Structure formats: structure tokens, C-alpha cells
Structure 1
Amino acid sequence: MTRAVLLVGATGLFGGHLARQLARRTDMSLIVAGRRLPTLTALAQELGAEAVAFDRTDATGVQGVLTRLRPFAVIDCSGPFQNYGVAPYAFAKQVLRAGAHYLDIADGAAFVAGIGALDALAKEQGVCAWSGASTTPALSSAIAADLCAGLDEVDLIETSILPGNKTPRGLSVMRAILGQIGRPFAQMRGGRLGTAMGWADSQRIAPKVGATVLKSRLAALVNTPDAALFPRHFNAATVTARAGLELGLFHRSLGVLRYLVPALRISSLDPLSKPLLTLSNLFTGFGSDAGGMRVRVLGTRGAQRQERVWDMIIPDGHGPKTPVQPVAILLDQLLAGQAKPGARPALAAFSRAEAEAQLATIHAVFERRDRDLIPIFEQALGPAFNDLPNAVQQLHRPAYVSRFKGMAEVRTATTLLGKLAALAGRFPLKGGQVVAEVEIAADDQSEVWTRNMGGTRFCSTLRYTRGQGVTEQFGPLTFNLDLHVSDGALHFPVTKGRAFGMFPIPHIITPVSETTETVDAEGRFVFDVRLSLPSGGLIVHYRGMLEPQ
């Protein structure tokens, strides 16, 4: 017995791929739906399917279609789901009341997270509603669940989506991207809910599968259902989602818009959707047709920090087929009667093995890699690291984001040169007893330390390079440190420095660092940092204690 499946948005980019995929199946009869009957009729004739035209916002029209067709399942690929207005679930409600299963490929965080409002209705009707049956959160959560298995703590889950420039793109995708640029959204970072900015903090990512490596691409922060759902579902301290454009010119141009939106109080970039889509299509001769995806997890198992990475590469322009593959997996569950009634986000609704089997049908290749992470101070010190007191070791074995708080006594510069040096390093210019806070954002190659001494914030980046040791960078100035352990304390003397990575800093103006870390009588972490000029003039001196938060 074949069951009718109604596909809304069948003539769009993603809906079109799904329509052609489902039309090949013999266990269902496909009905393609949308607003333009001539286009739908042509598609239906091509696929041997039925066509029906209606506006999903017209409740009367929708009711008539559902009553006449009595579909087993309705799949909504129309979007963009961020723009569904004051009654975002009106269409889904009608589908459920008609006794049909509902699936969508929404990637709007609020829309997907809120689908649970229909849970009682879905259970009453004995049907399922899955929102976000797409790359995020359905696919990303299936992979994340596999990567998180066995970890005692999950410090980071990061998903990155990297389409190829030569692959087709749709208006809904362009509108969804522009709708996020320069807009703040909630992000869990280090166990605290903060605010991130759409299309900020671009980083280079290069997925790798075997000997095949995708050329590195920029990926910026975006607001996806992952950010809203993963912290609670996986008990993850930090969750980030990224997306990028292969051509750096386009990616950075959107980055410029990110600054203009809040500065000029631009209410919407939606009017730019069609012009930018047309412009981007003029450059499809550049770049590649290969897309990629990465899910990265950092966590701890026992005392060992680990990084687990799943990379996927999709060649030959098949990338735009990825968002609808979770629909095919979940539809199989519905047809087999394996899904429990209810309305929920499509979170870890299938396994990594099921995902990879489905993705292989669109020629995707994938690879999981696990490795132990060694913090940079432990790498630099080697066996001597174990000679440090426990509290010092713990501070230098940070999670992806670790925070410490305590008290400090600050002494500031008194000479003009000392004050200028303190100003350049953004060190405190006011002394006294202050609250001290330190945040460390770490991976296996660098640590970003953000210190707050009585309201004065200053940052530095520490890096370890084999053969060169540890360096600490304050803005354009980078200093080499001769880390060593003596008498149970860690010492940080400066040996040399460079400006802008190229110009050696003369020894006569290279700061002198008398910095130690150890523990007090109660076993608490204590620090003593004294920076001065070679002439003896003080730059800053702060000492105190810190405890983990």
C-alpha cells in the first residue's frame, strides 16, 4: 500500500531535490505543492507525481486540500521559517488536526525550539511533528550525539557548514543569511548565556577526509537551532554554529554589513536578497562545486581532554541535497511505524550510521577523528609540569572556556614611561585591592587570557610552538617566555620581544617579567606578576589569589 506524501515548496532549491528523490520511491505517492500551478504541473509531469497549488497562509484553502488529499505526511520545505509571523505554527497545526504527520526543514532557532507547543495536539492525533529535519539540528545533533558518547563533560560542540561557490543557491537561503547579519542572538559560552553577533568571529576551517582536504574557508557565527537546543540536550558548556562562503570577497563583504546594520540601525536587509543573489550568481565560475561540513566536540574523559571531529565533503555540486536527507531518514521511520507520537525538534532522532548511509547516496564522504589534547603549558614544560602544585596544574589544564575569580592587590606605574607602557598593554592604571577575574579560552595550540582587575580588562594570547616555546601576545607586541619550574612555582621571565610579528624590540625597552604562580598555605592558586622597564620603572604589579568558578 502506497501512502500519499504532500511536499510543500517542491519547486524551491531544497524542495526540488527532495521531490526528485522521493519520486523514485515505490512505497509512497508524491504530491508536489506550492503557489504556482504552472511550475508545479511541469515538475509533476517530469516526476510522474500529482500537483496541487495553494497558499500555506490561507487556512481555508489549506483545509480544503488536506481534506481532499488526506496525506499520510506533509513536508514543509518552503521557508524561510524565521519569517512565519505571529502565528508561526498555524500550518503545522492544520496538518496535525488533519491526522497527518508533519516534518519541516526549518533552521530558525526560535521556530524549531518552539515546536513543542504542538506536542499535546500531536499526541492526541497519534501523529508526529518534527521540526528542523535538516542539516541543523537533525544531522548535526545525530553526529554530535555520536561524538559526545562516553565523555564525562562536554566543553564545546561546534558545527560548521561550508558550501561550494559553484553550487546552486536559493532565495530562501539568501534571505535567511541576511536576516542574521549584525543581529544579536543568545549563545551559551562556558556555561553562561551570553550574546553573540550574526556573522562575527570568522575562523578558517578545512574539512579533511582521508587524503582529500577541502581548501580552508572562512566560517562566521550564525544563529541556528543548535545554539538554542544543544546546551541542554547535551549538557554542553559552549555551543557554536558557523557558516561561510567559499569566496573570501563575498564572505568579508557580509562581514562589513555586520557592522553597518547596528551602526545605521538598519531594520532589515531583506530588500538586498534578490540583488545579492543575482550578483553572486555572476561569480559561479569561481571557486569549486565541493561543499563541506564539520562537527567538532571538545570534552573530558576522566582527566584527559579530547577533541573529536567529524568531517564531511560533498563533491560535484551535491551539497544542496544535504539539508533534505534527514527528511528521508525520518520519513522511513514514519512509514515503518517506528516513531512515537508527539511534536519535537529533530534532535538526535537517528544515528550517525543511519546518517552516513543516507548521505552516501548523494556521494558524500566522511571521517571521524579523535585525539587527546595536551594543554600548551604541559606541552612546554614536559615532565616538570607534574612538579607544580595541584591548583597550578588545574588552572593550566583549562576547558574550552574556564573562569577563575579572587582578589588582587594592584600597584601601578609612577613614571611617564611606565604609564605609557601600561597604557600600551591596557594594564590597570589605578591601584588598590580589587576583585580579580580571569577567563581562559583554550585549545591545544593557544590560550586567550582575559583578565579583569577591578574593572580594567586586558587580554593576551599565549601560544606554544615546538622548538620555540611559549609566546605571549599583547596586541601588536609578542614576547618569548622562558617558562620553568623552580621550588614548586612556575616562573615566566621574558627573553625577547617582537612588534607586529616582524620587528625585534630592543633589549633596553623589553619589559622585565618577574612572574610566579604557586599556592598558598590553604592550597589555593596564587599569582605574583611584576612587569617593569629595564631601567627599573614599574609598569604594573598585581598579586593575589584565584579560585575556579
Structure 2
Amino acid sequence: MLAARAHYVDLADARDFVAGFEAALDGQARVDQRWAITGASSTPALSHAALDAMTAGWTRIDRIEAAISPGARAPRGLSVIRAILGWAGAPVRVFEKGRWTIRSGWSEPRRTPFPGLGRRWTSLAETPDLDLLPARFHPRRDAIFRAGLELPILHLGLWALSLLRRSRLASTLEPLAVLLGEMAGWVAPLGSDRGGMVVSVEGRDANGVRRLARWSLVAEAAAGPHTPVAPAAATLRALLDGRLGEPHATPCVGLVDLDAIVRELDDLPIRTRLESQRPEIPGLFPRLLGDTWDTQPSSVRQVHAGVTPVTLRGKARARGASGLPALVRRLQGLPPTGRHATAVTITPTADGERWVRRFGVRTFASSITADRHDPWTFEETAGVLTFRFGAAPYPGGFSWTFEGWRLGPIPLPRAWAPRIRARTFARDGQDGTDIYRFRVLVAHPWLGVIFGYAGRLS
């Protein structure tokens, strides 16, 4: 391309190719005054744009982790499958615990939280970011990139196959590409068409305060394969507009910002979110809501500060289907349909809050605790069931976003879960003060509305 005096932009994510790109082409690119840009894709372009946005002004970065997980029904190219099999089980150089070390590709499987998707299996992936993250951001501890397959049988199956290469029983897994691609197609109906990406970072901000930040993307309706193209499209727009500066050869990092990339996805069923929190401040919800906590209405902050016990009284209207849902409501202490005098007591505990709700003569109690495995979520336990939520800003308050559930210690499939909508917010009263309000709806496709209640408290 450069020989033809044309600019060059690719979506390459092969680690060796990107690592040698600048040295091989920079001289010619500068002589020809043409851009040569590699890696204009999810990694490294999008991951670095997210990190640039999250860490602007920070004085120190301690740890970086990025992960990507496509939906099982997303298109699978044979070349992508071959590329993954090329490094699965092979030695991979990675910056971990403050030093360079060797790990195996697709090793260290664990469940990674993807906001809006729940927890999915991921493993160590070999991408250009394993070199570029330490080079650009200089983390003190770790710079990790992980990838996963939505269906556990596929993800853990590939991990088991990678052991063949790790134990030197096979030199490569690439000959299995066609077969494994067909097998993935057979079980794809068991998964979804929803994929995601998450980039997390820990460090110190401009004031030296410890910070956690996270950027996430959720792609619905098989839109995930459009994501890698967005950085390339944003880069081409900037190139044509003359916003990139002096032409040279480079990986696509620091050339276009996060907003420019995300704008390329505006017309697609893809949503993104950037969060930041101070993990050492007191109170569960102030910690979860991070920088948005201070923008919450005063009544919401008074109720959910998590420092002293709070008792609220008011009225609530309850509804729900008859039959089995009515039995569930009675067993849980939830109110029958109609209006009820309501009192809610919230008592801070060592790791969260204890909630006791009284609707007329019925009492419903639950424990709300920080998630030990994920600083961005919390869990509500009532009886033997535990539901996991995130806290997201909502106009005038915040919403509880469902992330997963379990029966005792046993994780349950999201597909079986009830649909939950929960919001706490404030609206102005007649005297100009904001009035605390709440709205909860729990429904199931098989049962209808299990319970719902809404009201105002003071």
C-alpha cells in the first residue's frame, strides 16, 4: 500500500505482527508521507482509548485488565479460530505481579464479570495489548488481557485441549480448527447473540486518592462483530480530516479518543458505560455509585449513605399475579395487592446493610452486601436465594441492574431468572423538598408478575 502511495490502516490483532510493524514500516511511511496504522480494532485501539479516558490526570496506575467475550451465536471466522488455536497452550510473555513472566495461552480460567451479561469464563489471551499496555501505561503490578467463549463447555473444552500443547503432547492445535468450528456451531443455539468487552484499571488520581475505573460495552442482537471495525472507521475519519498529525507507522493507540470510536456505533444495539469509584469511602452505595453519588438528590443520599440506621415510613401500592406468585408473596412476607402502610428500616452492617420492610402486617427482610468477587456489584439475599446487582445512575436517583443469581452457593442460569426492575429516586414535594420514592417489579415469563410495589417514604 505504501509503495502505491496510499495510506494503510488494518485491524490486525496478532501480537508479533503489531510488535514489529513500526520498525518495519516507519522509515518508508515518513519518506512517503503516508500513514501506516496497525491494530485499529478492539485490541489495542479500543482498549487504549478506554484507558486514556479513564486515567486522564492520574498520577499512578497499578493494575490493568481487559477482557472480551463474544456471544455464542456471533459469526465465527475460520481464520479467527485458527489464530486462537495458534497460541492456546503456547508460552505467552505477560507482565504480572510487577515483572515479566511466562504463562500459557488460554490458561488461568476464571469467571469475569461483564456488566449487563453476568459472569463469563475467560482465560489469558495473546494480543498486542500484552506489550502495549505496559509500554504506554507503566502499571506497577499487572497488565492482563483475557478472552472467553460464552458457553462453558466450549471455553473449558478449549482449556482442556490447551493442556495437550502445554504438556508437549501436541505441537499446535491449529489442525482442529475446522472440527472445533463445526462443534461450536452445533452448540451455538444454547448460547446468545450478546457479547461484551470490559476494561478495568486501578491506580491513584490527580489528588493521590485510590481509584477504580471500569469501561464496559454490551452488544445485543449479534452486533458484536461491528465493534472491531469502529476504531478503524474513527481513524479513517480523523485521517481524512487531517487530525492525526505527521504521518508515520504506528499501532493504533492514542490516535483517536473513546468518544470518536463509540460514535461509530451509535446506530447499533450497542451500549457502553464508564464508571469510577473510590473504594475506600464508607457506605456501600456511595462506593458503588462513585463519582455520581454526589449528584444524587439529598433524600436519596440520606437514605443510602450507609453510615447510620434509617427508618422510613409512608405508603406503598402492591400488585402481583394470582396463583403461585401469590403463594410466593405470602411465604416471603411480601404484601398482597392493594395499598399498605409501609415502614422500611435500613441498618448498616460490617459488609453492607440489613433491610426490614413492613407492609401492613407482613414483614420482608433481606441482607444487602458487597460482592466479595466484584467491587462493582452487590448482592441481596432473601432466604436461600441471592441476587446480584449493579448500581447505575438514573434520573433523580439510581437503578439496580440485575447481573446474576444463585441458590445458596450454586449459580443459576440467567435465562431462568425473573426479570427485575428496581429504582430508588426522588421527586419534589409540594413544599419544594425532594421526596424519596421507590419502584420494584419482579416478573417471570412463565408466571407473570410475581410482585411489584411502589411508593413514597419519609
Identify the TM-score tier after normalising by the shorter chain.
Answer: 0.5 to 0.7
Which one of the candidate residues 277, 281, 292 is aligned to 2:185? 281
Per the TM alignment, residue 360 of structure 1 is displaced from its structure 2 partner at its CA by 2.1
Which one of the candidate residues 302, 307, 314 is aligned to 2:212? 307
Aligned to 1:271: 175
Contact 1:304–1:373 (8 Å) recurs in 2: no
Per the TM alignment, residue 375 of structure 1 is displaced from its structure 2 partner at its CA by 11
- Structure 2 unaligned segments of length 5 or more: list them: 285-350, 352-368, 373-408, 410-458
Spell out, residue by residue over 1:398-453, the C-alpha distance to the aligned partner (whole angstroms, 9 max, x if none).
xxxxxxxxxxxxxxxxxxxxxxxxxxxxxxxxxxxxxxxxxxxxxxx9xxxxxxxx
Aligned to 1:160: 67
Distance 2:196 2:56 in 1: 23
Map 1:340-379 to 2 at 5 A: 340-374=246-280
Aligned to 2:241: 336
Distance 2:80 2:232 in 1: 18
Aligned to 1:188: 95
Aligned to 2:213, what secondary structure does the other structure show? Answer: strand
Aligned to 2:216, what secondary structure does the other structure show? Answer: strand
The 3 A distance-change label for structure 1 pair 241 and 276 is: same
Aligned to 1:214: 117
Q: How many residues align?
A: 286
Aligned to 1:226: 129
Aligned to 2:359: none
Aligned to 2:188, what secondary structure does the other structure show? Answer: coil
Aligned to 2:329: none
Distance 1:180 1:190 in 2: 22
Is 1:235 the counterpart of 2:138 in the alignment? yes
Aligned to 2:191, what secondary structure does the other structure show? Answer: coil
Q: Which has the larger radius of gyration?
A: 1
Which one of the candidate residues 96, 99, 104 is aligned to 2:10? 104
Is 1:144 the counterpart of 2:51 in the alignment? yes
Distance 1:143 1:331 in 2: 19
Distance 1:265 1:120 in 2: 43
Distance 2:57 2:134 in 1: 17
Distance 1:288 1:189 in 2: 33
Question: TM-score scaled by structure 1?
Answer: 0.50
Identity among equivalent positions (%) equals 36
Aligned to 1:324: 229
Contact 1:290–1:316 (8 Å) recurs in 2: yes
Aligned to 1:168, what secondary structure does the other structure show? Answer: coil
Distance 2:208 2:263 in 1: 34
- Structure 1 unaligned segments of length 5 or more: list them: 1-94, 380-444, 446-464, 469-500, 502-549
Distance 1:349 1:196 in 2: 31
Quote the RMSD (CA, aligned, Å): 2.4
Distance 2:54 2:218 in 1: 18
Aligned to 1:520: none
Distance 2:32 2:224 in 1: 36
Per the TM alignment, residue 144 of structure 1 is displaced from its structure 2 partner at its CA by 1.0
Per the TM alignment, residue 204 of structure 1 is displaced from its structure 2 partner at its CA by 1.6
What amino acid is the match of 1:242? R
Per the TM alignment, residue 303 of structure 1 is displaced from its structure 2 partner at its CA by 4.3
Map 1:458-469 to 2 at 5 A: none
Aligned to 1:179, what secondary structure does the other structure show? Answer: helix
Spell out, residue by residue over 1:278-334, the C-alpha distance to the aligned partner (whole angstroms, 9 max, x if none).
111112211111110001011123443211001110100010111111111111122
Spell out, residue by residue over 1:121-161, the C-alpha distance to the aligned partner (whole angstroms, 9 max, x if none).
00100100011011100111111111121221111111110
Per the TM alignment, residue 337 of structure 1 is displaced from its structure 2 partner at its CA by 2.5
What amino acid is the match of 2:166? P
Task: List structure 1 runs of 4+ shifted beyond 3 angstroms.
Answer: none
Is 1:116 the counterpart of 2:30 in the alignment? no
Aligned to 2:345: none
Distance 1:294 1:228 in 2: 18
Aligned to 1:236, what secondary structure does the other structure show? Answer: coil
Per the TM alignment, residue 216 of structure 1 is displaced from its structure 2 partner at its CA by 1.6
Spell out, residue by residue over 1:62-86, the C-alpha distance to the aligned partner (whole angstroms, 9 max, x if none).
xxxxxxxxxxxxxxxxxxxxxxxxx
Distance 2:281 2:103 in 1: 26
Aligned to 2:157: 253
Per the TM alignment, residue 218 of structure 1 is displaced from its structure 2 partner at its CA by 0.6
Distance 2:7 2:139 in 1: 31
Aligned to 2:199, what secondary structure does the other structure show? Answer: strand
Aligned to 1:333, what secondary structure does the other structure show? Answer: helix
Relative contact order, higher structure (CA 8 A, sep 6+): 2
Distance 1:353 1:375 in 2: 29
Distance 1:219 1:374 in 2: 28
Distance 1:357 1:163 in 2: 21
Contact 2:104–2:166 (8 Å) recurs in 1: no
What amino acid is the match of 2:101? G
